[in-house]
Each structure stands twice: as C-alpha cells, then as structure tokens.
C-alpha cells in the first residue's frame, strides 16, 4: 500500500553558468513524497508523522537560497537531496517510493525506486 503527502516552500536559487537561470530568482516549490509499507492498525503510517518528516526537511529550505545547501540546485538535484533526506529518517518497514518536486505548477522532477 502507498500513501503520500505534499508540502510547499518558497526559496531562491541561481544555476551557475546558465544563461537565463544564472541570476538569482525564486520559486514556490511543491514537494510530494510517497511511501509504501504493510498495514499496521489499518495504516501504512500516520499521515501526521509523514507530514512532520517532510515538513521538517522542507523547512530547512524555506525562504533560503538553495545554493547554500546544494552546489547546483536544479529541480532534479533538489529532488535527489530531498529523496535522500526522507529515506534516512523513515521508520523501519516504511519504504520511500518517489519524490516529486514542482519548481512551478507546470515543471517538475521526480525520482522513484
């Protein structure tokens, strides 16, 4: 069974050596995280617990410059960074399925197992 949550945050970044995106600019990002596991007491895990995990991670990026966290903060690299951070803190028996990061409503990157 799979469950998922989403969180939003605002951040600035610039992409080194990129003609258009090399200047500092910002986005409102939306992050979707999907996990899987067996049912325990009728749930994969409590939505509130998953929301707290994802919320703590995106809070680090909120209203910051992503270049301070990721050398080349493309949407793809941000997606990988969030995936790795979520994966490290999930409870035993819960597996990360995918992370999707929307840079804008019509542009996104996704990593899945």
Residue 18 token pair: 């990129």
Candidates 103, 102, 104; CA nearest to 32 is 102
Q: Distance (Å, rounded) from C-alpha 68 to C-alpha 65?
A: 6
Catalytically annotated residues = 21, 63, 103
Handedness of CA 35, 40, 43, 47 (dihedral sign): negative
68, HSE (Cβ side, Cα atoms, 13 Å): 9
Residue with token string 């703590």: 56
């Amino acid at each position: 069974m799979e469950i998922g949550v989403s969180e939003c945050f605002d951040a600035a970044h610039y992409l080194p050596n990129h003609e258009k995106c090399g200047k500092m600019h910002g986005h409102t990002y939306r992050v979707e995280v999907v996990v899987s596991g067996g049912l325990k007491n009728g749930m994969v895990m409590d939505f509130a617990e998953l929301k707290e995990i994802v919320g703590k991670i995106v809070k680090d990026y909120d209203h910051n410059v992503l270049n301070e966290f990721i050398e080349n903060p493309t949407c793809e690299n941000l997606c990988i960074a969030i995936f790795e951070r979520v994966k490290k803190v999930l409870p035993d028996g819960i597996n990360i399925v995918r992370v999707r990061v929307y840079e804008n409503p019509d542009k996104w990157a996704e990593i899945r197992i």
